[in-house]
């Protein structure tokens, strides 16, 4: 068994192999242990007392230490972890903080999801948000009147059906299934004239 020292202390270096990864354990009383690879100096195997094993990357940028999780040993083969460590090292050597790159990628993905959600939003979804927002400012009857405007109709009723025996769809109902972005002036004009 090879003992791993802390990230900031003396580093134990060995060539990481599947056997060494499997055998490496955290010493009793320690919160974590590290085993550094000799093939590529940047990656290390971190193990906790629970036995969780994670590949990590450590480097320095502008005088500060950067530490990133690469992934668990169960999910990342050693060669793949080495490759990721090399990719991260290239970024650091270029003066780029990999954490900032990751934050930018996550922000871009979040923006893409938000844009897709906006493009897919229906009139019914917007109407529900509008009603929920306005409800504290309205009386119950006024709120129910607004709900009726978008109601589908077709429910059996004795009153208010104009002799049909079923409720009539609210005037906004034909618009409810439309995507909000498709609710253009010509569409609204056609709906209003109908």
Integer Cα distance of 84 and 23 in angstroms? 23
What residue has token string 């493009």? Answer: 119
In the chain, where do the E strands start and end? 13-14, 33-37, 43-47, 53-61, 64-72
98 φ, ψ to 5°?
Answer: -60, -30
Regarding pTM above 0.75, the answer is no
Integer Cα distance of 144 and 133 in angstroms? 14
Distances 187 to 138, 148, 176, 180, 194 between C-alpha atoms, Å: 29, 21, 13, 11, 11
Give, for all 194 residues of the chain, the pLDDT tens digit. Answer: 344 444 444 567 888 889 999 999 998 999 999 999 887 767 899 999 999 999 999 999 999 999 999 999 999 999 999 999 999 999 999 999 999 999 999 999 999 998 888 888 999 999 999 999 999 999 999 999 999 999 988 788 777 666 777 878 889 999 999 998 899 999 999 999 98
The three-state secondary structure class of 168 is coil
């Amino acid at each position: 068994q090879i003992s791993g020292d802390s990230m900031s202390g003396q580093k134990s270096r060995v060539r990481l192999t599947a056997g060494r990864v499997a055998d490496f354990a955290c010493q009793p009383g320690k919160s974590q242990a590290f085993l550094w690879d000799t093939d590529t100096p940047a990656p290390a195997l971190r193990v906790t007392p629970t036995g969780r094993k994670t590949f990590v990357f450590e480097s320095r940028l502008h005088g500060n230490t950067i530490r990133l999780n690469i992934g668990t040993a169960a999910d990342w083969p050693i060669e793949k972890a080495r490759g990721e460590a090399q990719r991260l090292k290239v970024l650091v050597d270029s003066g780029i903080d990999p954490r900032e790159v990751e934050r930018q990628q996550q922000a871009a993905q979040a923006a893409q999801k938000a844009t897709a959600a906006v493009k897919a939003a229906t009139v019914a979804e917007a109407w529900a948000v509008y009603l929920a927002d306005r409800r504290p400012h309205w009386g119950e009857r006024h709120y129910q009147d607004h709900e009726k405007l978008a109601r589908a109709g077709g429910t059996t009723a004795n009153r208010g059906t104009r002799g049909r025996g079923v409720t009539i769809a609210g005037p906004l109902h034909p618009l409810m299934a439309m995507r909000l972005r498709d609710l253009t002036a010509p569409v609204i004009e056609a709906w209003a004239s109908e």
